[in-house]
Structure 1
Amino acid sequence: MLRRLAGCLAILLVSLGAGGFARADCQAGSGITLQAIKGVGMAPLASGRQVTVVGTVTAVFMAPRALGGFFLQQGGMGGRPPEGIFVYQPQRGGSANPAVGERVVLSARTGRYRGRIQLERVTRTLVCGPDRALRAWPLSLPAKSVQLQRLEDVLVRVPARLTVTSNYQLAHYGTLGLSVDGRLFQPENGTGAVAGRSAGILLDDGSYHAVPRPIPYLNGTGTRRLGSALINLTGVLTKAFGRWRIQPSIEPRFRDTNPRPARPARRAGALRLASFNMENYFINRGGRGAESAAAFRRQQRKLVEAIVALDADVLALHEVENRHRAVAALVRAINTASPSEARYLAAAAGADYGSGAIRTVLLYREQRLVPRSVWINEDSVFTRPPIAADFRRLDGEPATVGVVAAHLKSKGGCRARGDSDQGRGCWGRLRRRQAAALSQWLKRLQAAVDQPRFLLMGDLNSYPGEAAVQTLLSAGLRDLIAERVAPADRYTYVYHGYAGYLDHALATVALADAVGQVAIWHINADEPRYLGYTNPRAKPTFYRSSDHDPVVVDLR
């Protein structure tokens, strides 16, 4: 009863402020059309014009730090889409806010904000009652630009299931990138059969403020993973900052169709090999990696959690600071968190190699393996030399196995000419030369130890269809991820919403038959980046311990 009285009082107060509006003004055809204001098929009205408009409220964003107004629309009859407009009125609040579905008459001035036509400086408002005919206009995605422009500021509903394909800006701007028919994959990832298409829009949070609090759209575990599904998205289609977006009028409904995975199960007696890009593990401040001692402690704890959970007998770790002390600190931290029978040693721990800021490190469990030989490739084509070891197992078969760990030149740091971006990121020619040098080196290693069973693991900074990986496959190596991992799971990294695997496990033919399991543990690439160590409130778990997912290979 009290709630009903409060609603009646609100309508009365709004009506008292109508300043001469009468019920007759609620009729269709009263006032000016939104088409005339926005210039549909004609020149738009100039800013500052006083107008009277009749329309239906479709969405309200009046909370603190929200858009500061509501959306109004007219028409939508006879199969023609309605016209919509944003009404900027930040000073209102509480029970005086218009309600979704109410038909109103208002007097305001025309204006513009960042080039978008809107109404502002509202002086009079009359609530006419509910518009029971209000329906969201169906929107099929992806849509052409002309279709989106026709529906700008209109209440829409996307009947198709959408997929979250980017959460990069979730904690900064409250937005999610979306796709249809599944998530997006890199064109040269070999997964075209399961790849979706960009929806061409963002899901926004009803605000243009940065750093939303709380972060929107999280599930019960505090994340919003890529691959999540979004059902019947309903809201107002707008364009801001160069991107089309939907401001939801109804709380979006997600389905956790890509939940956090359990760690790869390990069969008793299997020998586990893993590769993991550590995203700049640096013990020194002022360059790459953590910017403070506190951030470094968070980073190290998350990385150690991930490495211990991997439970690998051989670890190829990439982007470790190129200093002896950094390698020693990493090994010490891992061993402190591990049982005595699972502790690691670093192959070539005391060696100086490479001119780059980072190095690749090869760790092994001394109670399961003994390195018969260790090599470092000092070819000048590499700034971060590959490292290899031929191991003798202390138990199980195969009795010997060779491991090559490599991290090829990144796709960034483009230069103006020469080996520049050819559509696959920069330095493609250099990576191809590095791959050719790797394949020749691997043949020499096999001959040196009369050992045909080798596994090349590492961040090759190339998708499987690119020249660097194709060079290695042409030399006789087998792509274990392509052979053993389901297409929808073939990714270790996400760039601009497109997933793919830059991290590889390539086996010689002699080793391939001994492979029992190949897995990618998706603990990082799908997670929002705010869960990483740079966030002081990040939980000390292995989720988002890096920007790459680790790759696991189990030998029988």
Structure 2
Amino acid sequence: MKLSALFAATTLALSLLTPLASAATACGAAATPIALIQGEGDRSPFVGQTVTLEGILTLDARGQGGFRGFYLQQADDQTDDNPATSEALFVYSRRHQGSRGQRLRVTGEVKEFHGLTEIVKVRELEVCGPGTLPEPIALQLSGAGALEALENMRVSIPSPLTVIDSYNLARYGELTLAPQDRVIATEYLPPGPMAGKLDSSVNGQITLDDGQGKRDPRPVPWPPEGLGADNTVRTGDTLRGVRGVLDFRFGQWRVQPEPSPDFIATNPREPAPERPGGSILRVMTLNLANLFNGDGRGGDFPTPRGATTESAYRQQQARLVSALTAPDPDILAVSELENDGYGEHSAAATLARALGSQWRYIRTPGKDGNDAIRTALYYRQDRVVPVGQAERLTSGPFHNTGRPPLAQAFRLRNGKESVRVVVPHLKSKSCRGATGPERDQRDGQGCYAQRRTRAARAIADWLDRLPAQGAIAGTLITGDFNSYTRETPLQLLQKRGYTSMVAHYHPCTPEQCRHYTYRYKGRKGSLDHALASAGLAGQVVNAVTWRINADEPRSLGYQSDIAPGSVGPWRSSDHNPVIVDIRL
């Protein structure tokens, strides 16, 4: 033990012999060292016992909405030489005495509260006078074991951190951070134990909290000026100067900051990709995130999915129209559109009118399946012409289940070659109702991987049977596959001659993945794809994603109270669109 004076050394020796000291003695008398209370494991050896301790108040969380307590840390000149023991703990108390930087003497009972060592049932709390705040310990993010020894202590993270998840930003004031952005394993690895292990690991990440224990904080604390429609924090952005108290709550290691870190927009919002010159067919794919329009006359809200009010629906549609029209596409391949026919008041017809007078949509009445949602194709009738008859696959795995894929050939008005555009929307990874082999096999693919694979095989077989309609350049299968690039459905289609164009032009590695369509639990990858047949791939001049949705906080969506008047493309869905340019 490194002590500053003989008196302190005597105090410590006595405390080791009598750890359950009384608070009746004055400040500076025998007390139990905090490191001894914490112990070397993840559980205090003094649980259930009453102890007296002294330390510096480093962070006060007793205010309104706080954690009803404060953090107490041993002064720097009284810490031990054991790197396996923490020098701080949390004191659960509403007693008002003491402020940041003061030395306190506390008597209370030791408790483990969901993994956090704390003092409860405080009997005595005495202010011993001013103290010196302990210096923050430089923290390198690695495994949980390394963090346990710094629990409740002041820390600083010298390296910049990347925002990898903002799911709980508006609900609990949290951002998940890591040394670098993270990629879904099956975006670059085949399914298997290694992919499953990588995707389940949370090592090396930490949560930036807001020092509050309440739900739905308003204003939302991050970024520091408050989250808003024009003041966002996106996954992929960088934070510098993260420091504060290392805390463990709700199963996560987190930093209760002091002061606020610096936010750097390293993943800024970008304009829509420009169209190449010349004779180009631009196809854009987007999951509409359950676009339901009630009865089409302003009533029947809430709907089974999507918007709960007419005003929310109008905002949802306005955002989607902004997103769908900004890249100036010729064809729109969409999914999660309400499956309510093709009449004047249907969701399909209402969206077409909102897109503009030049937009039309493909109709396949009686073939759209019995799911609540469907896929659809829209096209600019002043630029492109449908060729032949539209088809839907309603047999095999799409007989009475699933969402039948839609196929339609198009050509430019002044052109001769056509492109067959096929829009699938395969079964999601949600495990609801999954049994037997459809359950999560822990190989990185989630639930229903076999069902998605059967669907992919059926689509390939179906396309082999469809007759060519005119001078066809090839086929583009584009939609929401609910499968990342190296997963079995995509690999099956690749073997059948269909190449992912985004992965071809912008392949993902663990270190680099600039084009993706989805984020899930702190990792990014592509669930949405544009697969070109062998004959068409050579005519694709570019394929990109437009990162308008997946990186934005979900709390900026149309259903939130934070950006109710926004009509721009940002967070119009939870998927990023895919844009493919084909030279014909």
TM-score range, shorter chain: 0.7 to 0.9
Aligned equivalent of 1:401: 419
Structure 1 residue 544 corresponds to structure 2 residue 571: yes
Paired with 2:491 and 2:94, the residues of 1 have a C-alpha distance of 58
| TM-superposition CA deviations, 1:229-263 (whole Å, max 9, x none) | 12232121221222222211221222111111211
- Once the two structures are TM-superposed, the CA of residue 363 in structure 1 deviates from its matched residue by 0.8
Scaled by the length of structure 1, what TM-score is found?
0.86
Amino acid at match of 1:64: Q
Aligned equivalent of 2:130: 129
| TM-superposition CA deviations, 1:421-450 (whole Å, max 9, x none) | 223112111211111111122223364545
Amino acid at match of 1:363: Y
Contact 2:517 2:527 in 1 (8 A): yes
Flag the 1:43–1:123 CA change in 2: closer, same or farther, 3 A: closer
Contact 2:418 2:473 in 1 (8 A): no
- Once the two structures are TM-superposed, the CA of residue 49 in structure 1 deviates from its matched residue by 2.6
Aligned equivalent of 1:104: 103
Q: 1:310 aligns with which of 307, 312, 327?
A: 327
Structure 1 residue 485 corresponds to structure 2 residue 506: yes
Aligned equivalent of 1:188: 186
Paired with 1:127 and 1:421, the residues of 2 have a C-alpha distance of 57
Runs (5+) with no aligned partner, structure 1: 1-18
Runs (5+) with no aligned partner, structure 2: 1-22, 191-198, 295-301
What is the 5 A alignment of 1:225-244? 225-244=234-253
| TM-superposition CA deviations, 1:136-195 (whole Å, max 9, x none) | 11221122x332222111111222322111111111111122222x21111110289xx9
Secondary structure of the structure 2 residue equivalent to 1:407: coil
Amino acid at match of 1:199: G
Scaled by the length of structure 2, what TM-score is found?
0.82
- Once the two structures are TM-superposed, the CA of residue 367 in structure 1 deviates from its matched residue by 0.7
Structure 1 residue 411 corresponds to structure 2 residue 429: yes
Contact 1:304 1:333 in 2 (8 A): no
Paired with 2:82 and 2:252, the residues of 1 have a C-alpha distance of 27
Secondary structure of the structure 1 residue equivalent to 2:424: strand
Amino acid at match of 1:250: P
Flag the 1:439–1:352 CA change in 2: closer, same or farther, 3 A: closer
Flag the 1:393–1:219 CA change in 2: closer, same or farther, 3 A: farther
| TM-superposition CA deviations, 1:18-65 (whole Å, max 9, x none) | x9986xx45xx85221134345589644547362x3222222224320
Amino acid at match of 1:258: N
Paired with 1:331 and 1:416, the residues of 2 have a C-alpha distance of 34
Contact 1:520 1:550 in 2 (8 A): yes
What is the 5 A alignment of 1:432-511? 432-445=453-466, 447=468, 449=470, 451-485=472-506, 487=508, 488-511=513-536
- Once the two structures are TM-superposed, the CA of residue 82 in structure 1 deviates from its matched residue by 4.9
Paired with 2:99 and 2:339, the residues of 1 have a C-alpha distance of 61
| TM-superposition CA deviations, 1:328-363 (whole Å, max 9, x none) | 6445544544554xx211112545421222110011
Flag the 1:123–1:419 CA change in 2: closer, same or farther, 3 A: closer
| TM-superposition CA deviations, 1:284-309 (whole Å, max 9, x none) | 34422222333222222222221122
Structure 1 residue 553 corresponds to structure 2 residue 580: yes
Contact 1:452 1:508 in 2 (8 A): no
Aligned equivalent of 2:254: 245
Secondary structure of the structure 2 residue equivalent to 1:60: strand
What is the 5 A alignment of 1:89-100? 89-92=93-96, 97-99=98-100
Contact 2:223 2:263 in 1 (8 A): no
Paired with 2:129 and 2:98, the residues of 1 have a C-alpha distance of 14
Paired with 1:198 and 1:163, the residues of 2 have a C-alpha distance of 14
Amino acid at match of 2:129: C
Aligned equivalent of 1:147: 146
Structure 1 residue 87 corresponds to structure 2 residue 109: no
Flag the 1:82–1:358 CA change in 2: closer, same or farther, 3 A: closer
| TM-superposition CA deviations, 1:457-477 (whole Å, max 9, x none) | 011111111110001000111
Paired with 2:189 and 2:581, the residues of 1 have a C-alpha distance of 23
Paired with 1:345 and 1:230, the residues of 2 have a C-alpha distance of 45
Aligned equivalent of 1:158: 157
Structure 1 residue 218 corresponds to structure 2 residue 223: yes
Paired with 1:306 and 1:97, the residues of 2 have a C-alpha distance of 53
Amino acid at match of 1:402: R
Paired with 1:456 and 1:327, the residues of 2 have a C-alpha distance of 29
| TM-superposition CA deviations, 1:200-240 (whole Å, max 9, x none) | 43221112221112212126633221111122321212212
Paired with 1:32 and 1:188, the residues of 2 have a C-alpha distance of 51
- Once the two structures are TM-superposed, the CA of residue 311 in structure 1 deviates from its matched residue by 2.1
Flag the 1:353–1:403 CA change in 2: closer, same or farther, 3 A: same
Aligned equivalent of 1:273: 283
Aligned equivalent of 2:178: 179
Paired with 2:534 and 2:494, the residues of 1 have a C-alpha distance of 11
- Once the two structures are TM-superposed, the CA of residue 511 in structure 1 deviates from its matched residue by 1.6
Contact 1:183 1:197 in 2 (8 A): no
Equivalent residue pairs, number: 522
Contact 2:57 2:104 in 1 (8 A): no
Flag the 1:21–1:541 CA change in 2: closer, same or farther, 3 A: farther
Contact 1:37 1:110 in 2 (8 A): no
- Once the two structures are TM-superposed, the CA of residue 523 in structure 1 deviates from its matched residue by 0.9
Secondary structure of the structure 2 residue equivalent to 1:163: strand
Aligned equivalent of 1:300: 317
Contact 1:189 1:465 in 2 (8 A): yes
Paired with 1:379 and 1:154, the residues of 2 have a C-alpha distance of 62
